Amino acid sequence: MKILFLGDIVGRNARDAAIAQLPELRKKYKLDVIIVNVENAAHGFGVTAQICDDFYKAGADCLTTGNHVWDQREILAYIDRDPKLLRPLNYPEGTPGKGFYILTTPRGEKVLVANMMARLYMDALDDPFAAANKLCNLHRLGKDVQAIFIDFHGEASSEKMAMGNYLDGRASFVVGTHTHVPSGDARILPKGTGYMTDAGMCGAYDSVIGMDTQLAVNRFVRKTPGEKLYPADGPVTLCGLGATIDSKTGLCTKVEPLRIGGSLQQALPEVA
């Protein structure tokens, strides 16, 4: 089973680039599942129903988010109607939306996609480790589902690494999002779970984490309220990863970073 994951989509240019590339990527790599983090897709802040629909039409099977999930108010009314748009699972009980979705591939394989949010330097949500443990106990890898893919949205690399090791052998893949900087540690953990601390963003890297450089620098230099940040212009790099999962065990057999276009060194998974 082949899974493609794209990190945080930042703004319209990144949206357009990703949507344009998804059909060709699915065909080229014979992808079974495409997952995209869209929490910054609407001008850098949140996501809209129309954007979700555009990604589904391009071939995305499930969309994840993070701390900006509620920035576009229309999502509060929409998210309960769209089970494929996830908000972090460890939001308090009663929060609109769901934190996981079980999709079925054309071959009949069941893939559980989950979204969770870390707590270090983030909002004080419910315990993500307890939520992950409960989820993996209810949906056993290799028995109830053929794959479990988790987007762990967080600031601290230590917390994301801890989650990867906590779920080693119980999830197919744990990938971090939120920092918008791709990490160089994509690997398979000792018990077979694929892991990457951060997938990076899909956006303009000649920026400050995807936002206009001068506006972002002014916030640090002047320390006074200024203009609202907006996504930077410039060439877009699509960042993410490709993972191959053994459908019998649910464990990861191969992981490769993906970086296409823009200003970063290119990284293309092998066609196999």
Among residues 43, 68, 153, 180, which one is catalytic? 68
Which pLDDT does position 6 carry in this prediction?
98
Strand ranges, E, within the chain: 2-6, 33-37, 62-64, 100-104, 110-117, 147-153, 173-177, 187-188, 194-196, 203-204, 236-245, 252-260
Closest Cα partner for 4 from 247, 245, 205? 245
Residues of the chain with pLDDT under 70: 271-272
Which pLDDT does position 255 carry in this prediction?
97
Cα–Cα distance, 240 to 67 (Å, whole number): 19
Any domain includes 224? yes
CATH of the domain at 168: 3.60.21.10
Which pLDDT does position 272 carry in this prediction?
52
Backbone torsions φ then ψ of 178, nearest 5 degrees: 110, -40
Any domain includes 138? yes
Residue range 4-57, pLDDT digits in tens: 999 999 999 999 999 999 999 999 999 999 999 999 999 999 999 999 999 999
Tell me how many domains the chain contains. Answer: 1
Is-above-0.85 flag for pTM?
Answer: yes
Classify 30 in phi/psi space as left (phi over 0), alpha (psi -120 to 50) or beta.
left
Which pLDDT does position 185 carry in this prediction?
98
Q: Which residue has the tokens 């703004």?
A: 11
DSSP codes joined into one string, 48-79: -HHHHHHHHHHT--EEE--TTTTSSTHHHHHG
Residues forming a β-bridge with 113? 101, 149
Any domain includes 267? no
Any domain includes 272? no
| Residue 68 annotated to the active site | yes
Any domain includes 238? yes
What is the longest distance spanned by two Cα atoms in the chain? 56
Which pLDDT does position 223 carry in this prediction?
83
Any domain includes 243? yes
Any domain includes 271? no
**Which structural domain, as residue segments, surrounds residue 52?**
2-260
Cα–Cα distance, 123 to 264 (Å, whole number): 31
Any domain includes 161? yes
